Amino acid sequence: MTTSAIELENVVKEYLSHGEVVQAVKGVSLDIAEGEFFSLLGPSGCGKTTTMRMIAGFEAPSKGLVKLHGQDVTNVPPNKRDVNMVFQSYALFPHMSVWDNVAFGLKQRKTPQDEIKRRVGEMLEIVDLTGREKRRPREMSGGQQQRVALARALVNRPRALLLDEPLGALDLKLRQAMQIELKRIQREVGITFVYVTHDQNEALTMSDRIAVMNDGLVEQLAGPREIYERPATAFVAGFIGTSNLLAGSATGGELKIGGGRVLVPGHEGDVRVTVRPEKITIGTEEPSNGLSAVRGTVAEVVYLGTYNSYAVSLADGADATERSEGANQTQHGNRDDRAAARGGTIITVFQQNALDAMATAERGDSVWLSWQAQHSYVIGS
Ligand SMILES: Nc1ncnc2c1ncn2[C@@H]1O[C@H](COP(=O)(O)OP(=O)(O)OP(=O)(O)O)[C@@H](O)[C@H]1O
């Protein structure tokens, strides 16, 4: 069995706000392994930062236990916990050079000079800042400053590093480059990283495992692929990427919907099914048996470079009741509202342009949508 770096046991955090008790975290249990890149992902206000602050020791849980490396640290102050934290605002010392910023903690602890020299040098090499030792923070880009902050935290060799939206201030391109860098650095130093983000792509790119949080609770805890392909709840399906949600009553392992059928082998009665836009094929002919297939009308086509996004309004919307809700709106803006006004359900389909014979499907066209049974995923709630 691998050692647990961080364990939360049924942790609850309540705040008193204007005379009322607010539960920011409603009972979270996590078990983060040594050396793991673990993300807490969720929308604003879901309790990620509060969870992180309880791991760091800046907040005490109202109930439950926090353990680091098997030891109960629930009542241990932050400076006595073997973790370090990196924030979005790097909080570098502006008047100090890069070298002095990174060396600061070691000097405070009266580490011998030659050891400081070796460790700071090594760390600057890992974050790819060798040669920039003499610069001041203001003479560096946002990404470089974030790397200094990272080096400053890692040089102390904490057993775990907690990162709260550390790339939030960077523009998209730099953020993507830094995601790859961060993952490399984490692999190189082998330290447990706990990463807070509301950005699903960021979490999917870097994490070994992700806890998707909503309203103070963990809705799903799994690897990126599992979370994307087998979302446990409607919330997760909607929050991670674009997803279609179909609901209704199944008989004989089939959900009759949109003038066609969705295959849900082994399921009877009320079911909710998700299917990802890129798993669906658009065609003009009714597909053969053995596939899930529904009929509809193209309501909108959006050109997105390598692929097109189609919004298809189902033939009989009355049966299909819901779409997944989440932070990620699809590219079709308020199309759901328009469909709702007509009482219909909209299915989003992504088709690669180069491969797609139907790339010319146009607004108003009558089409069949089909996908393999294995790409429908029946969700819990
Ligand atoms: N000190 C506090 N007093 C009262 N309520 C608080 C306090 N800190 C947080 N909350 C509430 O707890 C909930 C969770 O907050 P938290 O900061 O953990 O969310 P988050 O997921 O990190 O959000 P964000 O991404 O916006 O930082 C929110 O509703 C917030 O308003």
State the pLDDT confidence band at 340, using cuts at 50, 70 and 90.
Answer: very low
Here the ipTM equals 0.93
Q: Name which of 187, 191, 200, 133 is nearest 157 in CA terms.
A: 191
- pLDDT value, residue 321: 40
Cα→Cα distances 284→106, 294, 353, Å: 68, 11, 17
Give yes or no: residues 223 and 295 share one domain: no
What's the pTM value of the predicted model, to 2 decimals? 0.80
Domain coverage including residue 249: 241-378
pLDDT in tens, 80-116: 998 888 877 668 899 999 999 999 989 998 999 999 9
Give yes or no: residues 328 and 190 share one domain: no
Region 274-280 average pLDDT: 91
Q: Ligand 1 within 6 A of 17 CB?
A: yes
What single-letter amino acid sits at 68?
Answer: L
Residue 235 located in a structural domain? no
Token look-up 């009741």 returns 321
Give yes or no: residues 195 and 245 share one domain: no
Give yes or no: residues 48 and 129 share one domain: yes
> Percentage of the chain with pLDDT > 90?
52
Give yes or no: residues 213 and 296 share one domain: no
What single-letter amino acid sits at 275?
Answer: V
Best residue for ligand 1 mutational test, from 13, 14, 15 (most atoms within 8 Å of Cβ): 15
- Picking from 229, 262, 279, the residue at the C-terminal end of a domain is 229
Is residue 314 within 8 A of residue 292, CB to CB? The reply is no
- Picking from 178, 197, 229, the residue at the C-terminal end of a domain is 229
In this structure, what CATH number is given to the domain that contains residue 166?
A: 3.40.50.300
- pLDDT value, residue 174: 81
- pLDDT value, residue 362: 87
Is residue 237 within 8 A of residue 213, CB to CB? The reply is no
- pLDDT value, residue 50: 95
Please state the domain count of the chain: 2
Cα→Cα distances 128→145, 160, 181, Å: 12, 21, 9
Q: Name which of 193, 102, 78 is nearest 153 in CA terms.
A: 102
pLDDT in tens, 202-261: 999 899 999 999 999 999 999 999 998 888 988 998 888 888 988 889 999 999 988 899
Please report the atom of ligand 1 found closest to the CA of residue 13: 12
Give yes or no: residues 302 and 170 share one domain: no
pLDDT in tens, 40-81: 999 999 999 999 999 999 999 999 999 999 999 999 999 899
Q: Name which of 312, 314, 306 is nearest 356 in CA terms.
A: 306
Protein residue with its CA nearest to atom 20 in ligand 1: 45
> Percentage of the chain with pLDDT > 70?
89
Please report the atom of ligand 1 found closest to the CA of residue 49: 22
| DSSP three-state, residue 190 | coil
Protein residue with its CA nearest to atom 13 in ligand 1: 24
Q: Ligand 1 within 6 A of 381 CB?
A: no
Region 10-17 average pLDDT: 95
Distance CA(369)–CA(295), nearest Å, equals: 6
Residue 309 located in a structural domain? yes
Contacts of 352 (CB under 8 A, 6+ apart): 306, 307
Give yes or no: residues 23 and 112 share one domain: yes
